[in-house]
């Protein structure tokens, strides 16, 4: 076994030990599983191929909201991130358990980005699928996995974006999950931002101008996202103000 392989195994053991030590019980949000849809498998393989090419300084990890940087957010991505050698690891419909599986099966192998932006968990919050605490466990597990596999990468956790036209129990669940997950931030290698307020009117309403289905962003919404994190991203990437 090479020194690099040995270190990788030690890192994975530390990761596992950390989960057990902090008393996180096993549940669906922290149990890595793949998905079987053809498009998902193809996207996973494409992501692995992109990682093998190297030259990645920034990664975005998430579900359909991140995936759609390639659709509604395409022009905004080009404006803010293409020149930063960014890679989109958003998969529509993904939950924390799917991200955990992807990250351990090639999506980030061989790269060492300066920063990773993580926004995940809303799909875990449907009905009784997972509690806020379980969603937070899933987010935390992903961050720990990133720290093990990408020790030089600074992680920016984003609070789960608000969904639904008006405040609701699901919004509250996601807000609580985000707050719980934010506790892992240390202000050094792990950072946290909650930018959801930027998408809401003063009375906490989501408008179709920002999210036409009250979940996925319009181009304007992606522009707001990019602007909201730009200062922090510059900091994490080591860019001049």
Q: Where do the domains of the chain lie, and which CATH numbers do they carry? A: 3-237 (3.40.50.1110)
Convert the pLDDT of each residue in 128-170 to its tens digit: 999 999 999 999 999 999 999 999 999 999 999 999 999 999 9
**Which has more confidence, 86 or 5?**
86
SS3 206: strand
Catalytic residues: 64, 213, 216
Q: State the Rg of the chain over Cα.
A: 17
Distance separating alpha carbons of residues 23 and 8, to the nearest angstrom: 23
Output the six-digit token pair for 174. 């996601």
Is the pLDDT reported for residue 20 higher than 70? no
Global pTM? 0.90
Partner residues linked to 90 by β-bridges: 62
> Are the beta carbons of 92 and 67 closer than 8 angstroms?
yes
Residue ranges of E strands in the chain? 58-62, 86-90, 115-119, 154-158, 190-193
Count of Cβ atoms closer than 10 Å to residue 197 Cβ: 11
pLDDT tens, position by position, 51-89: 999 999 999 999 999 999 999 999 999 999 999 999 999
User: Residues 87, 58: contact at Cβ < 8 Å?
Assistant: yes
pLDDT of 14 > 70? The answer is no
Q: Which residues pair with 116 in a beta bridge?
A: 59, 155
Say whether pLDDT at 9 is over 60: no
Please give the residue that has the higher pLDDT: either 230 or 26: 230
Q: Report the distance separating Cα 115 and Cα 80, nearest Å.
A: 14
């Amino acid at each position: 076994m090479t020194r690099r392989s040995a270190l990788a195994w030690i890192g994975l053991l530390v990761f596992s030990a950390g989960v057990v030590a902090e008393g996180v019980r096993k549940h669906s949000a922290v149990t890595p599983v793949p998905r079987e849809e053809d498009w998902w498998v193809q996207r996973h393989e494409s992501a692995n191929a992109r990682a093998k090419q190297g030259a990645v300084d920034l990664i975005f990890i998430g579900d359909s909201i991140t995936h759609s940087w390639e659709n509604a957010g395409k022009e905004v991505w080009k404006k803010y991130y293409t020149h930063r050698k960014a890679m989109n690891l958003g998969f529509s419909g993904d939950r924390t358990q799917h991200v955990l599986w992807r990250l351990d099966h090639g999506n980030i192998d061989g790269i060492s980005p300066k920063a990773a932006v993580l926004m995940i968990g809303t799909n875990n919050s449907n009905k009784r699928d997972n509690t806020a605490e379980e969603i937070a466990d899933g987010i935390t597990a992903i961050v720990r996995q990133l720290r093990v596999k990408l020790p030089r990468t600074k992680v920016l956790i984003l609070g789960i974006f608000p969904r639904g036209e008006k405040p609701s129990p699901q919004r509250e669940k996601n807000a609580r999950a985000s707050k719980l997950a934010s506790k892992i931030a240390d202000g050094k290698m792990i950072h946290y931002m909650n930018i959801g307020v930027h998408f809401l009117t003063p009375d906490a309403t989501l408008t179709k101008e920002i999210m036409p289905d009250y979940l996925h962003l319009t181009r304007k919404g992606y522009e707001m996202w990019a602007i909201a994190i730009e200062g922090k991203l510059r900091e994490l990437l080591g860019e001049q103000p």
